[in-house]
Amino acid sequence: MSELLTNQSGKLSRFFGTLKRLFSSMTERTIVSLIYLCGVSAIIFVFGIFFFVFREGAPFIKNNLNLSGFFLSDDWYPTSVNNKRYGILALLAGTGSVTLVAMLIAVPFSLAAAVFIGKFCGPKPREILKIMIAFLAAVPSVVWGFIGLKVINVLIINLTGAPVGLNVLNAGIVVGLMSVPIIVSIAEDAIRAVPDTYIEAAEALGATRWQTVRKVVFPAAKNGLLAAVLLGVGRAVGETMAVLMCTGHSINIPFDGEAPYFHILDSVRTLTATIAAELGEAPRLNALSDGTYPEEGLHYQALFTIGIVLFIITFIINIVADLVVKGIRKKT
Amino acid sequence: MKTSDGQPGQNVFAPTELTRKKLRQQRMVGIGFGITTILILIPLVCLVGYLFVKAWPAFPASYMLFLA
**Nearest-Cα residue of chain B relative to residue A106:** B40
CA B46 – CA B53 distance, rounded (Å): 10
Interface test with A, best of B22, B28, B37 (most A CBs within 10 A): B37
Cβ separation of B40 and A136 shorter than 8 Å? yes
Instruction: Examine the pLDDT at A114 and tell me if it is beyond 90.
Output: yes
The DSSP line for A227-242 is HHHHHHHHHHHH--HH
Q: Is A268 helix (H, G, I), strand (E, B) or coil?
A: strand
A208 vs chain B: nearest CA distance in angstroms? 7
ipTM, interface predicted TM-score of the complex = 0.71
Per the DSSP assignment, residues forming a β-bridge with A255 are A262
| Long-range contact pairs involving B20-24 (C-beta distance under 8 Å, separation at least 24) | B22/A208, B22/A211, B23/A208
What is chain B's length? 68
**Interchain contact B41–A (C-beta under 8 A):** yes
B52 lies within 8 A of chain A by CB: no
Under 8 Å between Cβ of A271 and A278? no
Higher pLDDT, A7 or B35: B35
Rounded to whole angstroms, the Cα distance separating A288 from A295 reads 11
Provide the 8-state DSSP code for A80.
-
User: pLDDT at position A134, please?
Assistant: 85
Distances (CA, A) of A18 to A15, A29, A31, B18: 5, 16, 20, 76
Complete DSSP assignment for A86-100: E--HHHHHHHHHHHH
Q: Would you call B31 an interface residue with chain A, using a CB distance cutoff of 8 Å? A: no
CA distance A265 to chain B (A): 21
pLDDT, tens only, A220-264: 998 889 888 988 998 899 999 999 999 999 999 998 888 788 889
B50 vs A: CB within 8 A: yes
A134 in contact with chain B, both atoms CB, cutoff 8 A: no
Binning pLDDT at 50, 70 and 90, where does residue A154 land? very high
- pLDDT tens for each residue of chain B, 68 residues long: 555 666 666 677 788 888 888 889 889 999 999 999 998 888 778 888 888 888 888 777 777 676 66
- Threshold 0.90, pTM exceeds: no
- What is the radius of gyration, based on Cα positions, of chain B? 28
Q: How many residues in chain A? A: 332
The C-alpha of B9 sits at a distance from chain A's nearest C-alpha, in angstroms, of 25
Instruction: Please tell me the distance from the alpha carbon of residue A172 to that of residue A98, in angstroms, as a whole number.
Output: 5
**Which pLDDT does position A172 carry in this prediction?**
95
Residue A294's pLDDT band (boundaries 50, 70, 90)?
Answer: confident
Measure in Å the smallest separation between the Cα of B6 and chain A Cα atoms: 33
> What is the predicted pLDDT for the residue at B44?
77
Task: Supply the DSSP string of A127-195, one letter for each residue.
Answer: HHHHHHHHHHHHS-HHHHHHHIIIIIHHHHHHHH--S-S-SHHHHHHHHHHHHHHHHHHHHHHHHHTS-
Closest listed residue to residue A166, CA positions, set A135, A145, A185, A195: A145
pLDDT at B59: 75
Contact between chains at B26 and A109 (C-beta distance less than 8 A) = no
pLDDT of residue A187: 92
Contact A129 B37 (CB under 8 A): yes
Q: How far apart are the first and last CA of chain B?
A: 64
pLDDT of residue B62: 72
For A122-152, the pLDDT digits (tens) are: 889 999 998 888 888 888 999 999 889 988 9
Residue A211 contacts B where some CB pair is shorter than 8 Å: yes
Determine the average pLDDT of the residues in A46-62.
Answer: 90
User: A–B: how many Cβ contacts below 8 A?
Assistant: 60
Of A116, A135, A151, the CB nearest to B37: A116
Distance from the A329 Cα atom to the nearest Cα atom in chain B, whole angstroms: 28
Write the single-letter amino acid at A234.
Answer: G
